A and B are shown apart, each in its own frame.
Chain A
């Protein structure tokens, strides 16, 4: 039996797969354009001079791009302090919430104990509560602890708002792990907790990443609580700093606002790029090829 016969068939299959892939790529790029267009619009506006922004006919890309809006934004009071504050708050919130939530999620998903169901219901119940009603009572509590105008107060607030979400979601990811993989780990007689740590974590890593990105972005962009708690202009986060662009009673500096927003998006993208490698982009264990 000659070995030549299968090759043309294999080549046809390979070509079909390539064309299929090309078609999917086109679709993917089309989706990219639609999804990212508002971002493009924001960034392109940031580079336009003021008269172009307000002109009757919209322009795709500026004919005379300018960096003036960025310079103005950075020159506004407290810019770098505010960047530092936002990074501190979000960093602390992401680390703390992921650790605390992961512990709780493991307990809820892996252990049978009285109060398990009750705690799960409590978690989802807090998620269902409209936050508007909590603002002032929460402020009163923080004032009693002496944490208003302090970054710590905001960290605790974000933690408490995002913990239920993180617990709920991580529990789901852990529950989704196929039993076979767990049982394989138990066989070698290691302690339950040790097995969880060694086997569980790599498997839920993509879930951890997705959840942590959500927490990062939510905490980064959170405005309502930050605005009420951090009343001191020298100790605020970027979302509050951003609100000064559109909070005057006079004309709004759209170019400045778009430039400022573009700047605030940068750390998010950096964070994502750092962690995205864990979501199966190149991960060998568990990559799907449907």
Chain B
């Protein structure tokens, strides 16, 4: 090893740098390129809808190109923050409906109130609300999904069970299923203990809320009588129906895995759970979770996405692309893939869509995300279900926590 070898190493390093510089410098986008961030669900689920929208946009806006970048849910917000800081934010971004409020409050998006979009007057109320802040529209509803019960038709038939039309009927049916299958690992209705999306449905069914706002101040309302009644009803139903761990969440384990292993007669969750039920595919069907009132669906959590235009973007072209992507043709195609379209005019009668008739949404407070990240509701539920605290006490603690967090500066 000597100076020559050393010089050779330096040369290699220099070549490496040059190689990186050469290959790294991508061809460079044309001056008129629209950058769109969609989630990877579109890439695997409905790429043809995206392609059609791109083609339509390019035809109507000659000289413009579209660059669709697919993102993943766990990191797209930190990437978005970085691009906002570095002045290179995309022109259109797909945001989860629970992610919108924080960014709308911070002024990250452009005002779309004056723009026209397809079906603007018939947007799905639950979804449209997530894109509005301070009376202005910042997000265009994209698509939604609600929660349904996926069940084993053979197990239900074995106890002569009919599709329940009220919570009371469902509890009775669950008890019958439980009596027939006594193993600890089997649940008539598999519900994870800290599945707050399901538990809050009961709260809203009884007329309660998570929090209300008055003159800019937020107040947690889970300790009010109606909410407490809802939580108590949830505990009653849970004790009758689920033998799942009372402290675990709805992802570990996945309910559809439990179902596919034969350890659940029914599970609650998004409609796409039917994809992964293993051997029970032809013995599986779905129905809408009923309310305490006979014949009504329980208010379900409406998950979904909105499309927004960050500040600094080409607003006119961005709005044009969004219009192309959310027109009737696109919505019909999305609906065919099992999603709920953004307009009531195209709403059908699939189980998924019927469940969306009554829905609830999280408080549209800019610090709501912190409540979620702090697992306030999950902690409350696990305390209630494990009897560590009474319903009222646990709700009070959670409520105070929510009030404090939502009112931070």
Contact = CB atoms under 8 A, between A and B. Distances in A.
A and B touch in the complex (CB under 8 A): yes
Interface of A: 51, 54-56, 77, 88-89, 91-92, 95-96, 99, 135-136, 139-140, 142-143, 148-153, 155, 193-194, 197-198, 201-202, 227-228, 231-235, 243-244, 246-251
B11 to A, nearest CB: 10
Main secondary structure of the interface of A (DSSP, over half): helix
23 contacts: A55-B261, A88-B19, A88-B24, A96-B17, A139-B86, A143-B86, A150-B24, A151-B23, A152-B20, A152-B25, A197-B2, A197-B6, A201-B1, A227-B78, A243-B74, A243-B75, A247-B72, A247-B74, A248-B39, A248-B72, A250-B272, A251-B254, A251-B256
A143 B88 CA distance: 8
Nearest to B75: A227
Contacts of A148: 86, 88
Interface stretch (B52-60, B108-116, B166-174, B275-283): B275-283
Given A143-B88, A249-B41, 18 more contacts: A51-B278, A51-B279, A54-B260, A54-B278, A88-B20, A95-B9, A139-B83, A140-B86, A152-B17, A152-B20, A197-B6, A227-B75, A246-B72, A247-B72, A247-B74, A248-B39, A248-B40, A251-B272
The 10 closest A-B pairs by CB, nearest first: A247-B72, A143-B86, A151-B24, A201-B1, A139-B82, A92-B16, A150-B24, A56-B261, A152-B24, A228-B82
A233 B256 contact: no
A228 B3 CA distance: 39
Given A55-B261, A135-B78, A155-B20, A247 B73 contact: yes
Q: Tell me which of A149, A193, A243, A248 has the highest count of chain B C-beta atoms within 10 A of its own C-beta.
A: A248
B16 A95 contact: yes
B136 interface: no
Nearest to B256: A251
A152 B260 CA distance: 47
Interface string B31-69: 000000001110111000000000000000000000001
B47 to A, nearest CB: 10
B26 A92 contact: no
A139 B85 contact: yes
Interface of B: 1-3, 5-6, 9-10, 12-13, 16-17, 19-21, 23-26, 39-41, 43-45, 69-75, 78-79, 81-83, 85-88, 254, 256-257, 260-263, 272, 275-276, 278-279, 303
A59 to B, nearest CB: 14
Main secondary structure of the interface of B (DSSP, over half): helix
Contacts of A233: 69-70
B85 A136 contact: yes
B369 to A, nearest CB: 16
Contacts of B69: 231-233
Contacts of A193: 3
B17 A249 contact: no
A197 to B, nearest CB: 5
A70 B289 CA distance: 39
B150 to A, nearest CB: 13
Contacts of B13: 95-96, 99
B3 A194 contact: yes
B87 A194 contact: no
Contact of A249 (B73, B78, B79): B73
Contacts of A201: 1
A248 B41 contact: yes
A91 B78 CA distance: 27
B33 to A, nearest CB: 12
Q: Tell me which of A155, A235, A247 has the highest count of chain B C-beta atoms within 10 A of its own C-beta.
A: A247
